[in-house]
Amino acid sequence: MIATSIPSPRRFYVETWGCQMNELDSQRMTGQLMQQGILPTREPKEADIILLNSCSVREKAAQKAYSRLGEYRLLKRDRPHLMIGFCGCVAQQEGEKAIRRVDDLDFVVGPGRVGELAEIVQRRRVSGKPIVATGFPDATTRNYELDTLSREGTFKGMVTIIEGCNKKCTFCIVPSTRGPEQSRPLGDILSEVQHLLDYGFVEIELLGQTVNHWQDPETGADFAVLLDKVARMGMRRLRFVTSYPRDFSQAMVDQFARHENISPYLHLPVQSGSNRILKLMGRGYEIEPYRDLIRRIRQARPGIALSTDLIVGFPGETEEDFQATYDLVKELRFAQIFAFKYSPRPGTAAPRLKLDEVEPKAADRRLQDLFALQGQIQQELNQDLVGETFEVLVTQWGKRAGTQTGRTPCHRLIHFEYGDAAVELGSLIQLEVEKGLPHSLIGRRVA
């Protein structure tokens, strides 16, 4: 049963799944609730509002989200005034269906409506009716208040520059969960970055599903212009995710050579090493230009760490197609790969292509082969860094007592023993690499 008259909430709990866009959305929701005087808690049991910010990328995403909502519903037994909000990409996908399925769900908020959260909570409290806020208002009505953003930490600031995606990759659900592309105006982005720098943020990360497809809605300036302008603002580190290979122009490549503070790290999803599969995926590029792009990027910034996304077992993928992916990984020696087994997503085009499905066992084996190869490459690449000294941004406490962890400019994890006194999180220190492991480095402090 849904309670109709809900007392003023005092505490909220947010669970966030998925990508940086979701992380930032959670920070936006947190900020709005805090502005209403509602404070965060780490304990769902203490919360008056629980938000599940879901992600639809992984397999069985909806099932997992419903199961978590089911767990949260049980808390209503002791706290009948508890409000449960279903947010993020699965919420966008499910909409009204979620309200029918979870009968005491209080509201559903899609990524395009995150800016309305405070108002939705208020409306729910007084109306007594569940609320569904999905879809994508246009730029003029979309609410993006910087003042209501509660940043996590004080050293890494994420700045959304473009939302949604206009591409139609046949495996991807993003265009339907995050809507069509909308670039934020250049002026807004620059003021947000300046605001973060004034607060002492060390690293700025520009975000978008196709970050390098950003275009200033007023002047038409492209991402290379934006990168140049932002880098000149003088932060220590500037990063951006996720870039789309076909949209990565030479002018963008040139920024890596021009600005040392653009981190020597780039995530450039290739998805497959086979042109036939890339075509079926609707990616709009072939492997040769991708290879050439990597070559030019490495020329512009020697030593840059590159990472990529790969899907194995896409419908119709033969052993030869997979071999092409395997060979590409071997040849390009990425610093990191994010590889997944294909699984169909509701509303995407791939299942309608009526291609032969890859046997799950074969897909599993291909994924394992890829991981084994990559593990070896990473071990070698990290081992090659032994003896080098990096400026490291200290980001967290280590798992072992007396240790801390940070990130090199090329975004590798590095652990170190801090000795007599721990280093303040967010500081930049010099570490010499002593050991290279497959997934991280071990360093020691140098003067």
Which residues of this protein are in contact with ligand SF4, per CB under 6 A?
165, 167, 169, 172, 174-175, 209-210, 244
Cα–Cα distance, 53 to 348 (Å, whole number): 21
CB of 396 to ligand SF4, least distance (A): 29
CB of 175 to ligand SF4, least distance (A): 5
Cα–Cα distance, 189 to 181 (Å, whole number): 16
Query: Between 9 and 269, whose beta carbon lies closer to ligand SF4?
Result: 269
Cα–Cα distance, 138 to 205 (Å, whole number): 24
Residues whose CB falls within 8 Å of the CB of residue 249, separated by 6 or more in sequence, listed in order:
212, 222, 224
Cα dihedral 409, 19, 171, 253, rounded to 10, equals -30
Query: Between 316 and 426, whose beta carbon lies closer to ligand SF4?
Result: 316
Residues in the chain: 447
Report the run of H or E that residue 178 belongs to, with start and end: helix 174-178
Q: What is the DSSP letter of 393?
A: E
Query: Between 155 and 244, whose beta carbon lies closer to ligand SF4?
Result: 244
CB of 192 to ligand SF4, least distance (A): 22
> CB atoms < 10 A from the CB of 327, how many?
14
Tokens representing 32 are 């709005």
For residue 155, give Cα distances in angstroms to 198, 203, 293.
11, 6, 31
CB of 167 to ligand SF4, least distance (A): 4
Query: Between 165 and 410, whose beta carbon lies closer to ligand SF4?
Result: 165
CB of 181 to ligand SF4, least distance (A): 9
Query: Between 281 and 431, whose beta carbon lies closer to ligand SF4?
Result: 281
Query: Between 85 and 175, whose beta carbon lies closer to ligand SF4?
Result: 175
CB of 173 to ligand SF4, least distance (A): 7
H helices of 6-142, in order, are: 20-35, 61-74, 88-94, 96-101, 117-127
Query: Between 165 and 392, whose beta carbon lies closer to ligand SF4?
Result: 165
CB of 208 to ligand SF4, least distance (A): 9
Cα–Cα distance, 341 to 366 (Å, whole number): 9
CB of 364 to ligand SF4, least distance (A): 23
Query: Between 309 and 327, whose beta carbon lies closer to ligand SF4?
Result: 309
CB of 321 to ligand SF4, least distance (A): 18
Residue matched to tokens 């409290």: 125
Residue of 225, 226, 289, 297 whose CA lies nearest to 257: 297
Query: Between 121 and 172, whose beta carbon lies closer to ligand SF4?
Result: 172
User: Please, which residues bridge with residue 237 across strands?
Assistant: 203
Residue of 309, 312, 310, 311 whose CA lies nearest to 359: 312
User: Collapsing DSSP states into helix, strand and coil, what is residue 265?
Assistant: strand
For residue 1, give Cα distances in angstroms to 13, 36, 101, 121, 353.
22, 26, 13, 18, 43
Let me know the angle formed at the C-alpha of 315 by 313 and 316, rounded to the nearest 5 degrees.
Answer: 100
